[in-house]
Amino acid sequence: MKTTLNIEDEFFLINGRKIYSEIAGSKPRSHGLLMNARFIQGVFDDKADPARFARFGWDAWDPERNTHNLIEALPEWYAYGLRAITVGFQGGMPVLTIANETINNNPYSEDGKSIDEKYLERMDAIIRAADHLGMIVIVSLLYQGQSPRLRDARTIRNAVTAGSRFLRENGYTNVIIETANECNVGYFRDRPLVSSSEGAATLLDLARYESGGLPVGCSMGGGDYDREIAEASDVILIHGNGLTRQQYSNQVRAVRAFGLNKPIVCNEDSPCIRRLDVAFDTQTSWGYYNNHTKQEPPADWSVTPGEDLFFARRMARGIGIPLHELPVEEQFVFMGFEPAMTYKGLRWLRIAAEHPERIDFVRFFCNDRLVFTAYDEPFYLHYQTTWIQQGVVVNLGDIWRAEVTLSDGSTVQLEKEIM
C-alpha cells in the first residue's frame, strides 16, 4: 500500500505529513483536515430488480461499470483537494426516485458471516485506486435501509466482523471504518445493538479489534451527537443534513466540548457549499452530499457542471489550490435539464451558484407563471430540506425561467426549454 493514514490529536496525516501541507502555498488552516464526499453507492447492486436501474442514459444496469466510473473520476476530484470518499457495503437511499425498501443491496449472507465476493471485489478496486492516488476510503458497513435484511443482533455482529476482517486481511492502510451510517434513524431504531449508545460503542470496539486497529467511527442523524459513541470512536463522525451554518457550528462546538481531542469529520451534509467556510473556520473536515448526481444509481461520479464543480472549486480555494476565475456567465447553472436526468416524467430543477452567498432569492417561472421562490441554499424548486427537493412534472415545449436576484439588487435571468 502506498497511502498510510495516521491520526495525531484532531488532525490527519498521510504518510507522516498533515494532509494538504504538501501542497505549495496551501493555507495552514486546512492542514490536517480530510475534505470528503459521500459516494455511498460505489459498490451498489440490486438483487430485487436491477433492470429498473437501466436509466439516466444507461441501456442496462452494470454494477462493475458503476464502480469503474467512480475510479475513473477520482483523479479529477483529487486535483481539487478531495482526500476521502465514503462508500457503503449496503449503499444508501435513492432519495428522489425509488423506495429503498424495495431494493436488495445487502451483500451479507443470511447469517452475516460472509460477504458477496462481487461486492468485495468492487470495494477492493475502489480502495486500491484511492490508495494509488493518496486518498482515504471511509468504508460504511451498515445502512438502516437494508437493516431488515439482517435478521437479528447476532447477524449484525457477524456482518461487522466480516467487513472488518476483510479490511484487515487485505492490509489496507487508507481506510476509516464507519460501523453504521446514521445509527439512530429509520430501521435502526428497531435495533438497539446499533441505535443505543452502548450498542453502537460495542460495535465500534468490535470493528476496531477485528480490523486489526483501523480507525473507527459511527455517524448519527443530521445534528445529532452522543458522548459515549464519541468516546468509543477514533474519528468522531457527524452529519450536517438539514442544518443551518450556525447549527453546524454549534454542533461542532458541542462535540469539541467533550474534550476528547479527536478529529471531527462530517461525512454527509448537502450541496450547501457555504458550509465549507464554517468547516475551515472550525477546523473540521466536511462531507459533500449530492443526491442528484451521486446517490441515484447509476451515479455520475465525475465533477459535473454546476453543484459538483462549485463545491470542488470552493474546496480548492479553501485549501489554497490556485484556480482561474470563472466568467460571470459560468457562475450560475440552471440544473435539472440534462437530457438523461429524468424519471417517470419528473425533473429536479434548481440553481447552482459559484458564490451562493451573493444570492438573495430565486424565483422559478414556467411559461411566465411564477411557480416557486427559493430563499435558502441550495436554491431548489420545491425545496424540502438542504438535501431533498420534490420533483416537478415537465412537458415538452415548457419554457422554464429562473430569475436570480442578487444581494446588490441586480438580477440574472436563466432560461431553458424542455426538449
Whether the per-residue pLDDT at 286 is higher than 90: the answer is yes
Short-list 364, 267, 343, CA closest to 97: 343
Whether the per-residue pLDDT at 264 is higher than 90: the answer is yes
**Strand 84-88 versus strand 136-143 pairing type:** parallel
Among 152-166, 198-212, 276-290, 331-345, which stretch is predicted with the lowest mean pLDDT?
331-345
Short-list 325, 287, 346, 376, CA closest to 85: 287
As a whole number, mean pLDDT of residues 245-250 equals 98
| pLDDT band for position 419 (cuts 50, 70, 90) | confident
pLDDT, residue 103, reads 97
pLDDT, residue 353, reads 98
Whether the per-residue pLDDT at 418 is higher than 90: the answer is no
C-beta separation of 214 from 167 below 8 A = yes
| pLDDT band for position 383 (cuts 50, 70, 90) | very high
Question: What is the fold, at CATH topology level, of the domain defined by 5-319?
Answer: TIM Barrel (3.20.20)
Between CA 390 and CA 370 the distance in angstroms is 16
Percent over 70 (pLDDT), the chain: 100
Amino acid at 395: N
For the chain, the C-alpha Rg in angstroms (whole number) is 21
pLDDT, residue 188, reads 97
Percent over 90 (pLDDT), the chain: 97
Whether the per-residue pLDDT at 368 is higher than 90: the answer is yes
| pLDDT band for position 302 (cuts 50, 70, 90) | very high
Question: What is the fold, at CATH topology level, of the domain defined by 328-417?
Answer: Immunoglobulin-like (2.60.40)
The residue ranges of every structural domain in the chain are: 5-319, 328-417
| pLDDT band for position 47 (cuts 50, 70, 90) | very high
- DSSP codes, 237-293: EE--TT--HHHHHHHHHHHHTT-----EEE----S-TTHHHHHHHHT-B-EE--HHH
pLDDT, residue 341, reads 84
Write down the mean pLDDT value for the chain. Answer: 97
**pTM of the complete model beyond 0.95:** yes
List pLDDT tens digits, range 188-198: 999 999 999 99
pLDDT, residue 339, reads 79
As a whole number, mean pLDDT of residues 78-94 equals 97
pLDDT, residue 340, reads 80
Residue 68: all three cell numbers together: 469503474
Short-list 352, 358, 283, CA closest to 312: 352
pLDDT, residue 284, reads 97
Whether the per-residue pLDDT at 234 is higher than 90: the answer is yes
Whether the per-residue pLDDT at 1 is higher than 90: the answer is no
Backbone angles phi, psi at 181, to 5 degrees: -85, 115
Residue 146: all three cell numbers together: 437494508
Backbone angles phi, psi at 302, to 5 degrees: -75, 170
pLDDT, residue 104, reads 98
As a whole number, mean pLDDT of residues 359-380 equals 98
As a whole number, mean pLDDT of residues 381-403 equals 95
